[in-house]
Amino acid sequence: MSIAQRIQELKQSLPSDVTLVAVSKFHPVEALQAAYDAGQRVFGESRAQELVAKQRQLPADIEWHFIGTLQTNKVKEIVPFISLIHSVDSFRLLQEIEKQAAKVDRVIRVLLEIHVAQEETKHGLTPEACRQLLADEAVTHLPHVRICGLMGMASNTDDEAQVKAEFHQIHALFSELKDGICRSNPDFTWLSMGMSHDYPLAIAEGSNLIRIGTYIFGERVY
């Protein structure tokens, strides 16, 4: 199947309230252009330099999402155009986004990345650290940052019950925050969960933003 066919097939199969992020990291601009020509407008990248280079070469109406580990010294490169940062996991990073966003007079939408998976290498806040961060008075004084929800990954395992349980845990935290500490924030609406191998489970557990790379573009060559 071609990239265009994959995009079309995915879009037809997704519930209407689920947004597809085409994760294009490590793929050439020609592959992104093929997805664009098939109607895809939301793309996710995980490295600042690669993202900036692609953004310059591709159509201006693309909505770029950052999904990888974001170093504070790279924030200024992406704030001029980024649409959503999925992977914020510290107050320090929020502060840097605030500082750089203020300089270019933008309000940057972000998600807080939650860690529930078993793997130790994964980034993200524990549910308790997330609650504490949101309860911090200082977080409410970042006028150029808008916290729009949560992002999470499940463990990389074939154990479907475990994957389901982890997505369920992230959704439960999302609901708790939405009805609790974030209830006066109308932008707290996005739950980013699910990749090529586990997105149906993620959607079943309440995801409304899925990040699909391999299924659309094929294997990455690192």
Ligand X SMILES: *Cc1c(COP(=O)(O)O)cnc(C)c1O
Closest chain position to ligand X (CB): 213
With tokens 């007079």, the residue in question is 105
Between 114 and 142, name the residue whose CB sits nearer to ligand X: 114
User: Residue 143 CB, nearest distance to ligand X (Å)?
Assistant: 27
Q: Could you list the residues that contact ligand X (CB under 6 A)?
A: 23, 25, 46, 67-68, 195-197, 211-215
What residues contact residue 186 under an 8 Å CB cut-off, 6+ apart? Answer: none
DSSP 209: E
- Whose Cβ is closer to ligand X: residue 64's or residue 215's? 215
Beta bridge partners of 19: 209
Would you state the structure tokens that stand for residue 130, as one six-digit string? 């997330």
As measured in angstroms, the least distance from the Cβ of 192 to ligand X is 8
Measured distance CA(216)–CA(8) in Å, rounded: 10
Nearer to ligand X, 167 or 215 (CB): 215
The smaller minimum CB distance to ligand X, of residues 93 and 212, is found at 212
Q: Which two tokens stand for residue 139?
A: 């977080």
Burial class from Cβ neighbours inside 10 Å (0-12, 13-18, 19+) for residue 219 reads: exposed
Question: For ligand X, which is the closer residue by CB, 69 or 162?
Answer: 69
CB of 21 to ligand X, least distance (A): 8
DSSP category for residue 14: S
Q: What is the distance between the alpha carbons of residues 220 and 58, in angstroms, rounded to a whole number? A: 20
Task: Tell me how far, at minimum, the Cβ of 23 lies from ligand X, in Å.
Answer: 4
Q: How far is the CB of 186 from ligand X (least distance, A)?
A: 26
Minimum distance from residue 86 beta carbon to ligand X (Å): 7
Of 200, 195, 199, 198, nearest to 214 by C-alpha is: 195
- The residue among 87 and 142 lying less far from ligand X, judged by its C-beta, is 87
